Amino acid sequence: MTNASHLIKQSGIAFGTSGARGLVEQFTPAACCAFTVAFIKALEADFSFGKVAIAIDNRPSSSAMARSISAMVQALGYDAEFFGVLPTPALALYSMQNRIPCIMVTGSHIPFDRNGLKFYRPDGEITKADELKIINSDAEVVTPENEPELETLSAAKELYIERYTQHFPNKPFSGKKLGVYEHSSAGRDIYKQIFESLGAQVISLGRSDQFVPIDTEAVSEEDKSKALNWSKELKLDAIFSTDGDGDRPLIADELGQWLRGDILGLVTAKYLGAKLLATPVSCNSAIESSGAFKQVVRTKIGSPYVIEAFSDQEESLKPYAGFEANGGFLLGSDCYYADGLYHALPTRDAVLPALVLFNEAWSKQKAISTIISDLPKRFTASDRIKDIPRESSLSLIDKLANSEDVRNELRQALVIEGVLELTNEIDGFRMFFTSGEIVHFRPSGNAPELRCYAEADTQSRAEELVELALAYINQISNI
């Protein structure tokens, strides 16, 4: 017998911007049990519950982790409800509506040799303070000798489908041809049901039996080509996809151009009538220049920080909404849309942005590209350096923050005409130049990567800034 904090520390698994992440081999049965015990014990003082909901993504390692978690839940005297492969927001919705905690086994978009755990209290995502309680828990852990066979329940899936279909009896997507890029997404079978119920002709694309690590913030050249070809050959009105666990959307317009997540979020929040918008510092400045919101709160990157921004806000600013640059949309308060009430779902979700965008475009006989073209003309791009230790990323950012010579070298490498006007260290290091261009470096909270974001007046210039910035970082760090 040993305590949870010892096992968690020994495992090497750490919390990032969204859940605990680590290598597959680190998620041993003992480690999974330790996280489960620490999580449940952290809740018992404040919540009364008899069940814990559990779901997984399509990673090869996720089922075994779920069995260990279920065994530990039962050993602690609670019922374990297993919902099989399911999008994270669908599990979160079920959890919040039934006032029970849940654990999602997923590594989201990171490679299949890694995995993770996301935790939800009965009232929503755990906070950063909850994370500290979990990793410092002194609860004793006795790993169960036997693990149960998991029986898959369907109630969470049915609830999620109902959320997005019940208010549209007239099938508003009739006559539209929608491609669903399924790959290995946890929600690939659900999305077809939702969009067909709304009247669309759905064409399944790119289904894979192997796990595909789709990153909605850094779309691969291969996926860019796929979208262009699919749209042209199949004459699609749009393409819908998500990351691995279905909390981050990836949507292409009728031309096969993938939309940036922050632009998608801006459109969604605008048409939902959000008055208060919370969004990370890395998101497009068109948010402010659109004039669509009474108040915009800029946060650190990560859904817990966006959710925190909803706290203690004025009632007059409802509905609250938020989103991240990866496209994940958070509904911070109840909201009416298209004659229907949508209860708050303050966790990243991929379906609501698609529903709103498609409905706004197609109900008004507009192309999606037209909806997007009506927004202020600011363009963003992002990419990353992979396999770089977090410590190295932090060291590079420290050089930028503390050395004027390094900043000047970077500006010259970027071929920026303006001078550095302002910096922001809310999350990483963000630089604003008098030319109107923005460059932002930040270590990923989920993987050993250094991310770079850029903003400019044209898409080609934003992409060039990212390319030049990462080339400079490679040069000075000898990666």
Provide the CATH number for the domain around residue 195.
3.40.120.10
Which SS3 state, helix, strand or coil, does residue 320 take?
strand
108 given a catalytic annotation = yes
**Cα–Cα nearest to 216, from 308, 27, 353, 416:** 353
Residues 333, 389, single domain; the answer is no
pLDDT at 1: 64
CA distance 305 to 299: 6
Average confidence (pLDDT) over 1-21 = 90
Residues 208 and 346 in one domain: yes
Residue 470 lies in a domain: yes
pLDDT tens digits for range 207-223: 999 998 888 888 899 99
Pick the catalytic residue from 62, 108, 282, 333: 108
Backbone region of residue 176 per phi and psi (left: phi > 0; alpha: psi in -120 to 50; beta: other values) = beta
Spatial distance between the Cα atoms of 90 and 154, rounded to a whole number of angstroms: 11
For residues 79 and 340, the answer to whether their CB atoms sit within 8 Å is no
pTM: 0.90
Q: How many domains would you assign to the chain?
A: 3
Average confidence (pLDDT) over 319-338:
95
**Domain end point (choices 373, 388, 404):** 373
pLDDT over 70 at 141, yes or no: yes
Residue 170 included in any domain: no
Q: Are residues 137 and 261 in the same domain?
A: no
Residue 10 maps to a domain = yes
Peptide bond into 60 cis (omega under 30): no
Residues 396 and 366 in one domain: no
Q: Which residue type is seen at 130?
A: D
pLDDT at 342 over 80: yes
Helix axes 155-165, 351-362, angle to 10 degrees: 30
Q: Is residue 100 part of a domain?
A: yes
- Same domain for 430 and 325: no
Same domain for 194 and 127: no
Same domain, 351 and 386: no
Burial 307-332 (b: 16+ CB within 10 A, else e): bbbbeebeeebbbbbbbbbbbbbbbb
Last residue of a domain, one of 373, 402, 421: 373
Q: In terms of domains, do 327 and 463 share one? A: no
323 within a domain of the structure (yes/no): yes
Give the neighbor-by-neighbor strand order of the sheet with 450-456: 379-385, 450-456, 438-443, 429-433, 420-424
Domain that holds residue 447: 379-477
Read off the tokens for 121: 């209290």
Q: Is residue 142 part of a domain?
A: yes
Mean pLDDT of the chain: 94
For tokens 């090869």, what's the residue? 60
Task: Show the DSSP H helices in 273-350 as ranges.
Answer: 286-289, 303-308
pLDDT value for 476? 82
Q: What is the pLDDT of residues 162-174, one digit of tens each?
A: 999 999 988 999 9
Structural domain contains residue 166 = no
Question: What one-letter code names the amino acid at 5?
Answer: S
Q: In the predicted model, is pLDDT for residue 131 greater than 70?
A: yes
Could you tell me the end-to-end alpha-carbon distance of the chain, in angstroms, rounded to an integer?
A: 43
Q: Are residues 202 and 340 in the same domain?
A: yes
Please indicate, yes or no, whether residues 367 and 383 belong to a single structural domain of this protein: no
Question: Both 260 and 113 in a single domain?
Answer: no
Instruction: Give the span between the Cα atoms of 66 and 70, in whole angstroms.
Output: 6
Query: Which pLDDT belongs to residue 302?
Result: 87
Q: Are 262 and 329 in contact (CB under 8 A)?
A: no
CA-nearest of 470, 416, 460 to 438 is 416
- In DSSP notation, 406-419 reads HHHHHHHHHT-SSP
> Per residue in 223-274, pLDDT tens?
999 999 999 999 999 999 999 999 999 999 999 999 999 999 999 999 999 9
Q: Single out the residue in 316, 348, 373 at which a domain terminates.
A: 373
428 in the same domain as 466: yes
The CATH number of residue 456's host domain is 3.30.310.50
Q: Say if 201 falls within a structural domain.
A: yes
Query: What tokens were used for 242?
Result: 């998500």
| pLDDT-based confidence at residue 418 (cuts at 50, 70, 90) | confident
Place of tokens 């379906």: 351
